Amino acid sequence: MKWITRERPKIDRLACPWLIKRFIDAAAEIIYVPEKEVFTQAKLLQATPFDVPEVEFSHYEDRCTFDYFLQKYNLQDPALHTMALVIRGADTDDHSISSQSAGLWAISAGLAYNLKDDYELLAQGLVIYDALYSWAKYLQQEKHTQNPTENLLIQVFRRYLADQKKEDKKIPEWALQLKETIQDQIDTNLTLNLTAISEELNVHPAYLSRQFSKYFDNLSFGDYIRKLRIDKAIHLLHHTNHSLSEIAYLTGFSDQSHFTRIFKKHTGQNPSGYKKKLQKGKKDSNS
**pLDDT tens, residue by residue, 38-64:** 999 999 999 999 999 999 999 988 899
Question: Residue 9: its pLDDT value, please?
Answer: 96
Domain contains 213: yes
* Residues 197, 132 within the same domain: no
Q: Is residue 65 part of a domain?
A: yes
Q: CATH number for the domain including 180?
A: 1.10.10.60
Residue 237 to residue 226: CA distance in whole angstroms:
16
Long-range contacts, 263-266 (Cβ 8 Å, 24+): 263/230, 263/233, 265/61, 265/62, 266/226, 266/227, 266/230
- Look at residue 152 and tell me if it is in a domain: no
Domain boundary among 89, 119, 139: 139
Residue 254 has pLDDT above 80, yes or no: no
Expressed as residue numbers, the domain containing 201 is: 172-287
Element spanning 29, H or E = strand 29-33
- Model confidence band, residue 116 (pLDDT cutoffs 50, 70, 90): very high
**How far is Cα 186 from Cα 126, in angstroms, rounded to an integer?**
37
User: How many domains does the chain contain in total?
Assistant: 2
Residue 215's pLDDT band, with cuts at 50, 70 and 90, is confident
Residues 134 and 176 in one domain: no
| Residue 156 domain flag | no
Q: Is there a single domain that holds both residue 112 and residue 176? A: no
Residues 234 and 285 in one domain: yes
Given 139, 160, 193, the domain boundary residue is 139
Residue 5 has φ and ψ, to the nearest 5°, of -155, -175
149 falls within a domain: no
Final residue in a domain of this structure, among 139, 158, 189? 139
Q: Looking at the whole model, is its pTM more than 0.85?
A: no
Question: What confidence score (pLDDT) does residue 122 get?
Answer: 97
> What backbone torsions phi and psi does residue 283 show, to the nearest 5 degrees?
-65, -45
**Of 170-179, 196-205, 236-245, which one has max mean pLDDT?**
236-245
**CA distance between the termini of the chain:** 54
